Amino acid sequence: MEAVDRRSAVASASSKRAKRLAQQAHKTHPVIQAKQNQMYLITTLSQGQVDTSLINRVLPKEVLLKVFSFLDTKALCRSAQVCRSWNILALDGSNWQRVDLFTFQRDVKTAVVENLARRCGGFLKELSLKGCENVHDSALRTFTSRCPNLEHLSLYRCKRVTDASCENLGRYCHKLKYLNLENCSSITDRAMKYIGDGCPNLSYLNISWCDAVQDRGVQIIITNCQSLDTLILRGCDGLSENVFGPVESQMGTLKKLNLLQCFQLTDVTVQNIANGAKILEYLCMSNCNQLTDRSLIALGQNSHNLKVLELSGCTLLGDNGFLQLAKGCRQLERLDIEDCSLVSDHTINALANQCATLRELSLSHCELITDESIQNLAAKHRESLNVLELDNCPQLTDSTLSHLRHCKALKRIDLYDCQNVSKDAIVRFQHHRPNIEIHAYFAPVTPPTDQVVNRGGMLF
């Protein structure tokens, strides 16, 4: 009986000792606990497994690290659960230089970001928290202080982020080049000052739909960030027509500018842009409905490097302005003038004759254009035209398709609601050019009242 008690005591002592060793190993080599339908980067940790893998004994650590460097975030987190040595390899900071947590956006909370910051440290260069609406300023405070080498950060739709996060970015992340703050609606001009003062290397900034940012905030960024080449300001209602006036001489590095739905902008704004941004290649002013032909004339006189221009919904623009634009902006590759209902064949002919590199053209709802200008466009751009959008152009007929059939580079044509283009003409076109994507809709013919109606139209 005493022998049995002795063996039981020894077993109990051994069990306690094993438990202490396991707890010690757990603290030294944490393994990520994966849960079904949750992000694998969760901060709950579990006990490491014994390493019995042959691959760990055959390949040196350097080779295994190279293999792990090709894994994405989810694969790294799964690999970390295999065994103790794989856990160490998977969580090595060199594997966490680029992290995208968009897949796990609903599960990313403050503790996750803090844990990530501790793991990555100075290795991390790119981080996307796109859509992670549960991330607070407190998490980004820890993150920015531990990851000073960050160059690329997306906080798109992180709606709980405020000026405080931008203050920490400016304080710690001086190497930042790319920053996306779209839909971070709580940030103000103070955030722009922190970024402008602390991140002089910034080349890309997106503050779309940040209504609290006003002229002064944008001006600080343009003044202080002298490498800025892309500025996205879609839907920024806080801006006035004079937003670029005081800084037009400092806009020389800008290549891409997006002002979609900045309703308060006028010809004065465009004149400032044309005067200052001499190397501008991309400009979007769609739905800026106060613009007139003066804006087009200013661009034609100054913006000779312009390649993409989006003016959809600018209903006051007409032929006089576009004639000057075509004369000065001969490098245009893509032009969107949907709903510019004052445009006629004169504009299309000018573009066809003077913009030799034109590849994509949207003319939807330009109701004055006819087959004559499309014939000229097709003849001059047989080798270059890729996309042509002609929705709701009622004066176009089957003749348009006959001309476009000879455009060798054409990939897509849109013909919705072109009432004078027949179904037979489209069928013939598709027979000759089957690889071209053609979009058209034909309403069903009105049937006799005593028949059952199939309400679906015909869609190509």
* Residue 123, domain CATH: 3.80.10.10
The pLDDT tens digits of the residues spanning 43-99 come to 334 444 555 555 666 677 788 888 888 887 778 777 777 777 777 777 777 777 888
Residues 346 and 370 sit within 8 Å (Cβ to Cβ): no
CB atoms within 10 A of CB 89: 22
Distance CA 155, CA 136 (A): 11
Check whether 330 has a pLDDT greater than 50.
yes
CB atoms within 10 A of CB 340: 25
* Residue 72, domain CATH: 1.20.1280.50
Residue 220 falls within a domain, yes or no? yes
Give the burial class of 44: count Cβ atoms within 10 A of its Cβ; 0-12 exposed, 13-18 middle, 19 or more buried: exposed
State the DSSP code for 97: S
The pLDDT tens digits of the residues spanning 284-301 come to 999 999 999 999 999 999
Check whether 126 has a pLDDT greater than 80.
yes
Amino acid present at 168: N
Shared domain for 185 and 79, answered yes or no, is no
Residue 345 falls within a domain, yes or no? no
Return the pLDDT at 289.
96
What 3-state DSSP class applies to 263?
Answer: coil
Residue 70 falls within a domain, yes or no? yes
Q: Average model confidence (pLDDT) for the chain?
A: 85
Shared domain for 222 and 107, answered yes or no, is yes
Q: What is the pLDDT averaged over residues 366-377?
A: 97
Shared domain for 69 and 192, answered yes or no, is no
Strands 31-32 and 98-100 turn out to be unpaired
Shared domain for 70 and 168, answered yes or no, is no
Q: Terminal CA-to-CA distance of the chain, rounded, Å?
A: 90
Shared domain for 146 and 210, answered yes or no, is yes
State the DSSP code for 318: B
Return the pLDDT at 15.
47
Residue 155 falls within a domain, yes or no? yes
Distance CA 109, CA 415 (A): 47
Shared domain for 170 and 233, answered yes or no, is yes
Return the pLDDT at 115.
77
Return the pLDDT at 54.
54
Check whether 34 has a pLDDT greater than 50.
no
Return the pLDDT at 453.
45
Amino acid present at 326: A
Distance CA 239, CA 223 (A): 17
Q: Among residues 224, 239, 254, which one ends one of the domains?
A: 239
Strands 282-284 and 256-258 turn out to be parallel
The pLDDT tens digits of the residues spanning 227-276 come to 999 999 999 999 999 999 999 999 999 999 999 999 999 999 999 999 99
Token pair 């920015």 is found at: 144
Dihedral in degrees, nearest 10, Cα atoms 93, 95, 100, 106? -60
The pLDDT tens digits of the residues spanning 336-360 come to 999 999 999 999 999 999 999 999 9
Return the pLDDT at 136.
85
- Cβ neighbors of 27 (< 8 A, separation 6 or more) are none
Banded pLDDT at 30 (limits 50, 70, 90): very low
Token pair 């054409």 is found at: 410
Strand partners, 258: 232, 284
Q: What is the pLDDT averaged over residues 10-19?
A: 47
State the DSSP code for 399: H
Q: What is the pLDDT averaged over residues 201-222?
A: 98
Residue 165 falls within a domain, yes or no? yes
Return the pLDDT at 43.
37
- Cβ neighbors of 31 (< 8 A, separation 6 or more) are 45, 46, 47, 48, 49, 80, 81, 84, 87
Shared domain for 81 and 107, answered yes or no, is no
- Total structural domains within the chain: 2
Shared domain for 224 and 140, answered yes or no, is yes
- Cβ neighbors of 38 (< 8 A, separation 6 or more) are 104, 107
State the DSSP code for 104: G
pTM score, whole prediction: 0.83
Question: Hey, what are 71's tokens?
Answer: 């894994």
Token pair 């902008």 is found at: 265
Strands 334-336 and 308-310 turn out to be parallel
DSSP 380-391: HTTTT--EEE-T
Domain that holds residue 153: 96-239
Shared domain for 157 and 86, answered yes or no, is no
The pLDDT tens digits of the residues spanning 407-424 come to 999 999 999 999 999 999
Residue 140 falls within a domain, yes or no? yes
The pLDDT tens digits of the residues spanning 182-196 come to 999 999 999 999 999
Check whether 454 has a pLDDT greater than 70.
no
CB atoms within 10 A of CB 224: 18
Strand partners, 179: 153, 205
Shared domain for 173 and 75, answered yes or no, is no
Distance CA 419, CA 432 (A): 22
The pLDDT tens digits of the residues spanning 130-146 come to 888 888 888 888 889 99
Distance CA 220, CA 374 (A): 46
Q: Which of 251, 200, 254, 208 is nearest to 229 (CA)?
A: 254
Residues 324 and 347 sit within 8 Å (Cβ to Cβ): no
Return the pLDDT at 408.
95
Shared domain for 172 and 212, answered yes or no, is yes
Q: Which of 43, 31, 92 is nearest to 67 (CA)?
A: 92
Residue 168 falls within a domain, yes or no? yes
Question: Hey, what are 55's tokens?
Answer: 């691959």
Query: For a pLDDT cut of 70, what percent of the chain falls above it?
Result: 82
Banded pLDDT at 9 (limits 50, 70, 90): low
- Please state whether 183 falls in left (phi above 0), alpha (psi between -120 and 50) or beta: left
Return the pLDDT at 138.
85
Shared domain for 80 and 167, answered yes or no, is no
Distance CA 37, CA 118 (A): 24
Q: Among residues 79, 95, 111, which one ends one of the domains?
A: 95
Check whether 39 has a pLDDT greater than 60.
no
Return the pLDDT at 182.
97
Residue 161 falls within a domain, yes or no? yes
The pLDDT tens digits of the residues spanning 114-123 come to 777 877 888 8
Return the pLDDT at 51.
55
Check whether 442 has a pLDDT greater than 80.
no
Residues listed for the chain: 460
List phi, psi (to 5°) of 190. Answer: -60, -40
Q: Among residues 220, 239, 258, which one ends one of the domains?
A: 239
